[in-house]
Structure 1
Amino acid sequence: MEQPHEQLCMKLCFRDQHQFRDALLNLHITQARNFKYHRNSDQRIIVECPDKQCQFFMVAAVIKGEKTFVIKKMRLEHTCPSTTETTRVSAKWLAQKYEHLFRSDITTGIQTIIDACMEKYGVDVPKCMAYRAKNIAIEAVLGDHKKQYPRLKDYAQTVMDTNPGSGEVGKFGPYTIMSDRQKGLLNAVNAVFPNCNQRFCLRHLYANFQNVGFRGEDLKKCMDNASYAYNEHKFNIAMNDLRVESEEAWEWLTAIPKKTWARHAFDTNCKTDLVVNNLSEVFNKYILDVRRKPIRTMCDGIKDKQMVRWHRNRESVKAARWDITPHYSEKLEEVGP
């Protein structure tokens, strides 16, 4: 109701008391006036102005046998001066009024809300109220976080129904999970995916290596050589070099199962020899705009982004005129005939 003072009239009906209260609220925010309830129930609502000298009042009641509310008596015009100091603007009202902004752009900032309310209603909204309004609006647009988690069971069942064999052990065997070796994450993976192979990102492993006091380019070179070695012989050479440099560093690294960080000892079920989780970092950046959304909305967002990406790649391949991809063509040229 953009101009409620022009639309409210005697015998005007509302769906229920809630719609009437919303109209009453919009009226007084638009006019920069205030009101108070003399009576406020599901059957009858009487409102008046807090200024006893003001002539404004309104009586609305439910129609017998219905939920419909109707205005029965009113003196619509306020005779008191307008003021924004006692405004009825609230976070909930702001969220409802400006929800459309977040539907258009979920990254809308609080300053947009503050400026819009000042321009249209002359009300200076505090930042804390604008933050609350933003959170309420985003929740309305994206859905409540807690309410979406139970839906994951439905998603999981759909995956199981459409892709038999999915689960901890997939169609091609157990999954491999690479992490940054955080204690809480390790415990969670062991509890939820006890049969999955694990790998540790070398970059994060080296950060831990430094944190316990093993620093220097020589130690890093030995660690890199051990991790990147494709066979056990070269791995042992690198580890012996590390032991010569620092017995303590060798003991620390030896205590970590080599199958989690040394390339030559990786499980062969996972067809990649990567020792760092750069792919995960790139993917995290790729989904930056959706990963903070509620879980179901996030999953749908990632699915949509992937579908668009795959379609674009398929169309690109259709238009390609090469038999071997450019990347590998360059590598073959470097090797020569």
Structure 2
Amino acid sequence: MLKRYILMSVCICNFVFGGWFSKQWNIDNPPSLEESLKSLLQVNCQKVDILKGITPNSHYKNKDAISQCIKEQKFLKAIINDDVSTYKKMLDANEWSRYFLFYTTYSPRLEITPLMVSIVFNSPKVFRAILADSGHIDILSQKISPRFNIDRMMSDDYAFSGAFKLGNRIYDVNGVSALDLSAMYHRYDMFWELLAQGATYNNPKYPQTNGIVTFGDANILELMLYFDEEFLNDFGGGNILHFVTRDGNLELLEYLITQKDMPIDALKAGETPLDAALSGKNFQRKPQIQAAQKLIELGAKVSEANQHRLNKLLQKKQE
């Protein structure tokens, strides 16, 4: 079902991206965020006839869509190049967007924000300029809202699924915020500054795509614990190891067990971390064989069922 949805999505995108999506994007081999964002700079804006954001005020057609596309390309380029002067000029001229409309127009609908782009491309000067204008946005509040929502997510609805590649691993975009990206990309200064600015770091609705857990390293975890020493006890009801193993984060797995004394055979709803590693209950529906082997190496108890499951997976891998 998911693969069929994404196949439909690439067909919708194909005419603007000149075939780039249809050749390279599928659930097993999605583009990196760098590739995806840079592809927007190659779009022929003269062929764009509609840009449709979340609200009616951000809907553009025909000439207005072409004009908005050109502005988005210029805005994106300024952020990628860490050109804070052009960035500020575009703010003053009201030629900015809270998120890039192109990615909410064509499926899968992703809300990629300027703050996210500055993290992905490691643009510290523009990052700090955006962060200074960022905060929590409450639509019910009568207070003046900040320009940018610090906690905006790429997607907060499973109906619009998407993925991106980072290194040799693939991630679900659902629930991913700027803070998650800073943890995933190991942007330590940015991660800390986002925490200090009040970014949400433990959203119970999205434990499986929490950037600290999915691709954070020991340094990210230590920064998190310096900011909130109860994080390990609070995240996932104290079961962070289950989430780490399910997603295959080997570095954090070993660090939690050897340096933080996390119980290797702890139960979460009757499931051990080893059960979680072999369950395949992750975005790609793939058991984490290396995580399972690392747990066993570190002393996890192996049930007969788990040994049988692991043997089958290893045999299948060799075929």
TM range (shorter): under 0.3
**What TM-score, normalized by structure 1, do the two folds share?**
0.18
Between structure 1 and structure 2, the one with the greater Rg is 1
**What TM-score, normalized by structure 2, do the two folds share?**
0.19
Q: Which has the higher strand share?
A: 1
